[in-house]
Structure 1
Amino acid sequence: MASQEPRYVAIAQRKQAQLAAAIPAEWRLPAHVIPEGMLSISESITVGPKEYQRVGVMDIPRTCGLLTAKELEITEKYDVRGLVEEMTEGRLKAEEVVRGFCKRAAVAHQLTRCLTEPLFDRALQRARELDDHLQRTGTPVGPLHGLPVSVKDSFNIEGVDSSIGLSALAFKPATANAPLVDLLQSLGAVVIAKTNIPQTLATLDSCNHLFGRTLNPLNRQWTAGGSTGGEGALVAMRGSMVGFGTDIGGSIRVPAMCQGIYGFKPSDGRVPYGGQESGQMDGKGRIGLQPVAGPLARSVADINAIMAEIVPRAELFGEDCIPGYWPAPSVSGALSAPRNFTIGILKTDGLVTPLPPITRILNEVANTLRHTPGVEVVDIPLPSVLPKCQALAGRLMGLDDGSHMLDLIESMGEDLMPWLQGRMKRGKALTVDQLAKLQAQRAEVEREMMKMWTLSSQASSVARRVDAIICPVAPHPVPELDRYNAVGYTSTFVLLDYPAGVVPVRAFAESDLEIGRAMEEPVLGSWDKANRKLWDEKTVDRRVYLGSPLSVQVVTPKQHDHQLFRAMEIIDRAVQGRGVSSSAKL
């Protein structure tokens, strides 16, 4: 007697059919345009990375013939402020802008599986309403009038699923918008799609049974990152002007690193986080580690443009937000103080030694900054408590027994993704006493880490403040599928609630390979040992990293979110050889 298919199979088929039906026939790529290797949904979950062809798809939207010359110009020419100005001044219609981005998002999805919920019909209807309002009144609907944006699948949108890749949550549409969605719409932005995530939202490679695996458009051998991997792929392919993700262990910064774009993890309370489906027990984030929401974009300027509108209004929409101020770009220069901007270099977390190309890119950026007018560079000694942060963050993330998520998965007969097998299991929930002790340890770490932001001068007893630090995003380059290793370089700054961003620097080059040269530093522990496998020529062909983006992480003290933008701007201008504008100095 044949065994019965698990319940999730039929639901996944229905969900895929629904997704496909949301893409107009005239937006579908001809079969010959899609590179070989776009495997079926089930195959994409289990296939090893060696099965994929070494191929990127970044140029296909430009060469496939589906987008008109004007649609290519709309989706490639402008930054956020420039595109909004074109619409508010009447030179472009919101409808033609939104249609161009919806079409490009559809193309991106067919190449990477980045979408979960295409919202093209309702987005175009909203764009027509914006055009009508502008024509009738002569005024735009908010400062982001007509701007096409996208959000991670977990954000609720009324009438749309927030299935987060779980068949148990499919076909159960949300009854209300997440506060962030309401805020974006009040600003005039148009949400065109929701994007793919990993099963459990707890891995750094976006793969699940409902939607399959999101592929990295730069090279499908590399992970797209997670848990905001679909958003990273869509933004990288210019299918959205700005995407919104969440971050508790690195879920904004990791996809940004993997796809060579900019990610911004703000402090808690800056961007509305509520109104999401997490598959976890309600209120978990209030008692453990607090996840945050933030943007992914293709430039520092676009992050500034978005945060400048969100931060001052967030408290009016999110019960989890605090009053915030974000200076308008026109007045940033007026706020400059008569001193240098001090950037510290933190080379390691003391737990996992960065691989040679990561150390090299950090040193390159530091040397560039040392020759940048108005910038002072200092080395940051390893704080003694920093190596403790990864384990502490991990325990606070896993304070429950995991049963809520596993019940959802098992109820439909789903298997865990390969990376999760052996890593995720039912545990034992922390007691109130245990949780209180962990939070007390967290407070001790926070107090000790405050010292990192001051440098004592031998000539003076006055402490001098460090404005920002740069450090690795990860201790390894962009890895192959399911091989992302250490999360401590990103989860630490959620534990500490420090705003942190990602700035891409350059591509991995032949000179970074160091073929035949092994690492000589002593192995620090199990995480470090695992990280070495991504460089050991017995376990990896280092040439797989060629062409991958190398990035740095930028961090500022708690609630210094605008200072993080300024630091990212300084670093970005320096590494791109554009110099530092006077408005970038504090």
Structure 2
Amino acid sequence: MTSEENWEKIAAAKRAALAEQIPPEYRVPKDQLPPESQLDVTTWPKESGWFSPRELEITGSTASRILKQIASKEWSSEEVTRAFCKRAAAAQQLTNCLSDAFFEEAIQSAKHLDDHLQRSGKLVGPLHGLPISLKDNFNIKGRDSTVGFTSLVNKPAEYNATLVDILERLGAVRYCKTNVPTAMMIAESVNNTFGRTLNPLNRKVTSGGSSGGESALIAFGGSALGVGTDIGGSLRIPAACTGIFTLRPSFGRFTTQRCRSGLAGQEAVQSVNGPMAKTLEDITMYSKAIVDAQPWLVDPKMLPIPWRQVELKKRLKIAVLWNDNVCMPTPPVTRALTETVEKLKKAGHEIIDWDPKLHATALGLLGRMFVADGGKSVEALLAPTGEPYRPEMVQYKDAKDSGVFELWKLHTERSELQRQYLEQWMSYDGLDAVLAPTTPYASVPHGDFKYVGYTGVYNVVDYATVSFPTEITVDKAKDKPVADHKPQSDFCKAAQDSYDHELVHGLPVSLQLIAQRLEEEKVLAMTDIVLQAIKSTD
């Protein structure tokens, strides 16, 4: 067998094995599956009759409510876990969002937690009994972390990621892992091993990447809270594509130790992880629980900063990034920004404009940092099985090794850009936050996600950022394509050319709120204030 045949056979066998991991009782009967033509499958769980009212109530609840119900013994962790395993199984069958499922193991864990609560009357920790989904790169001992590569299939992890151990200690139940793009370096979740994840809100568009399996699962209701990662927008982009919340923390708050990486050792721009959920309350609850667990005691790179209470001014000063001068947002994103700004002004907040003078430089740096090894990391993982480069990974195929001297110069440029960005921030006297698009789009047809500039800038400067859904959805009548558009760049041309207002009609539109480095508590509290302004109808 040649290696060229090898990768396809390995991928086919892995997909078949994943299908077998779905227990027979969680396989949707063919006659109850929604037709291929049904693009929005988020309504299917209620319409199908395949779920009991109790299962729908559980899987339709927020993580915070589930924890309260388990703590009061209204619900058992076993009952909750079984409901989410079933809904995650359905999500997999309709959107291809999982990379691993270990439902029986999860149910046993949940039973142990129930026994502990029954016997002792005490919770194991603040996440007691809550099923939490995990992105594929979180190592779990004995399970694969392929990050999309066929060469990593059937190479189970020999240890848990540090965060996986912390979650277990806090009482969380792990039950599945979610799909990612190859090496986690594409803004859509597609790879040669598992294939493409679809957006449950519209299966013709992407759920984003690289945490797109996670966002699809949560948007479908197969998880109340999941953990993804972000190195150029990989939490925020999928959250925006599916209308959920996420926090991109600064490096040093949530441990990334012992996770699998597609670019292992690349630390010019640090990967971080964070929670994804349907409410801001759940994001804040999780973040506090993780920091309260004192990850700095087990990970030497974590900063010993306890969770802080934030006192905010009544009147926030927010700078608006309307357009980064590289890629103009599509009409629904501009409308969401305009309407949100109007509501913030009405609520008494001070609004100024942010000058994106450093953004193109930051984006250029990010791109150079990702390929500084000449694509060798990716090549080394493709080569053993003869797996081809996906078309989205062409920059890694064409990359030239910059060498250590050039990489050190790149680090110097990055540090100087970080200094300049801080200097610009401080020049806006008393600035609290920047409000910006998360992406130039609501979502895009599969294969069309080309621009990560709005998120990637904040990876380079390592700022704390929340992506949140506005109350605005794409309206094909209001959000028609811009006539006579003069593109600012090739990225801009591609964004406007691929904008299909009929296809994305009804999809949620998200924005991001950016605070300074290590201001996680502040950015979460400020996002709450922005949401209050959005909801206010006075």
Pick the TM interval, shorter chain: over 0.9
Is the CA contact (8 Å cut-off) linking 2:476 and 2:501 kept in structure 1? no
Correspondence for 1:399:
372
Are the structure 2 counterparts of residues 338 and 562 from structure 1 closer, same or farther at C-alpha, using a change threshold of 3 Å? closer
**How far has the Cα of 1:549 moved from its partner?**
1.4
CA, structure 1 residues 67+429, in 2 after alignment: closer, same or farther (shift >3 Å)? same
1:17 paired with 2:1, answer no
- Who is 1:483 aligned against? 448
Q: 1:284 aligns with which of 266, 277, 280?
A: 266
Q: Distance in 2 between matches of 1:377 and 1:292?
A: 31
Deviations 1:361-383 (A, max 9, x none): 111100011112xx523223414
Q: Does 1:90 align with 2:77?
A: no
Question: Cα gap change, 1:154/1:3 in structure 2, threshold over 3 Å: closer, same or farther?
Answer: closer
Q: 1:346·1:379 contact (CA, 8 Å) conserved in 2?
A: no
Matches within 5 A, 1:100-499: 100-280=83-263, 282-285=264-267, 288-312=268-292, 313-327=294-308, 335-336=310-311, 339-372=314-347, 375-420=348-393, 422-454=394-426, 464-499=429-464
Are the equivalent residues in 2 in contact too, given 1:383–1:449 (CA < 8 A)?
no
2:496 matched residue in structure 1: 532
Give TM-score, length-normalised by structure 2.
0.95
Alignment partner of 1:65 is 2:49 = yes
Distance 1:440 1:573, change over 3 A: same
- Indicate yes or no: 2:523 matched with 1:564: yes
Q: Which runs of 5+ in 2 are unaligned?
A: none
**What is the alpha-carbon distance in structure 2 between the residues aligned to residue 138 and residue 419 of structure 1?**
52
Checking the alignment, whether the CA contact within 8 Å between 2:257 and 2:299 is kept in structure 1 is yes
In the aligned structure 2, how far is the partner of 1:186 from the partner of 1:320?
Answer: 20
**What is the distance in 2 between the residues matched to 1:578 and 1:399?**
50
* SS of the residue 2:466 aligns to: strand
What letter is aligned with 1:292? V
Please give the secondary structure, in 2, of the residue aligned with 1:6: helix
Matched residue SS, 1:221:
strand
CA-to-aligned-CA distance 1:464-515 (integer Å, 9 cap, x gap): 3211111111223311111012111111100000011211112101333336
CA distance in 2, matches of 1:519, 1:315: 54
Shift in Å at residue 214 of structure 1?
A: 0.5
Q: SS of 2:469's equivalent?
A: strand
Q: Is the 8 A contact 1:108 1:234 kept in 2?
A: yes
Whether 2:466 is the aligned partner of 1:501: answer yes
Please say if residues 225 and 282 of structure 2, whose CA atoms lie closer than 8 Å, have aligned partners that are also in contact.
Answer: yes
TM-aligned CA deviation for residue 530 of structure 1: 2.5
Change (3 A) 1:138 1:123: same
The offset of 1:433, in angstroms, is 2.1
The alignment status of 1:75 with 2:50, answered yes or no, reads no
Alignment check: 8 A CA contact 1:196 1:231 kept: yes
3-state secondary structure, aligned to 2:204: coil
Distance 1:114 1:397 in 2: 26
CA distance in 2, matches of 1:321, 1:161: 26
Matched residue type, 2:355: L
Alignment CA distance shift 1:406-1:142 (3 Å):
same
% identical aligned pairs = 36
Residues of 2 paired with 1:207 and 1:568: CA distance? 31
* 2:77–2:129 Cα contact (<8 Å) kept: yes
Q: Secondary structure at the match of 1:512?
A: coil
- Give 3-state SS (helix, strand or coil) of 2:269's partner: coil
TM-score (norm 1): 0.87
1:289 and 1:396 in contact (8 A); partners too: yes
Name the CA shift for 1:378/1:137 in 2 (closer, same or farther; >3 Å): same
* CA 344–81 in structure 1, closer or farther in 2 if over 3 Å, else same: same
Q: CA deviation at 1:357?
A: 2.5
> Residues of 2 paired with 1:512 and 1:417: CA distance?
36
TM-superposed CA distance for 1:418, in Å, is 3.6
Separation in 1, partners of 2:153, 2:123: 36
Partner of 1:35: 34
Shift of 1:119: 1.6
Q: Verify the 8 A CA contact 1:54 1:221 in the aligned structure 2.
A: no
SS at match of 2:75: coil
Runs of 4 or more above 4 Å deviation: 2-5
Equivalents in 2 of 1:512, 1:553: separation in Å? 22
Structure 1 residue 532 displacement after superposition: 2.8
Q: 1:201 to 1:237 in 2, by over 3 A?
A: same
The letter for the 1-side match of 2:214 is E
- CA 1:355–1:99 in 2, change beyond 3 Å: closer, same or farther? same
**What 5-or-longer segments of structure 1 have no aligned partner?**
38-52, 457-463, 536-540, 580-586
Q: Does the 8 A contact of 1:152 with 1:195 survive in 2?
A: yes
Could you say what secondary structure the match of 1:258 adopts?
helix
Q: Which stretch of the first structure deviates more once superposed, 542-551 or 168-177?
A: 542-551
**Residue 575 of structure 1, aligned match among 515, 534, 538:** 534
The separation in 2 between residues aligned to 1:381 and 1:133, in whole angstroms, is: 53
Aligned pairs, how many? 536
1:173 aligned counterpart, secondary structure: coil
Amino acid at match of 1:283: G
Compute the displacement of 1:219 (Å). 0.5
Q: Is the 8 A contact 1:183 1:317 kept in 2?
A: no
Q: Quick one: structure 1 residues 4 and 15, their matched pair in 2 at CA, closer, same or farther if it must change by over 3 Å?
A: closer
Question: Which moved further from structure 2: 24-33 or 179-188?
Answer: 24-33
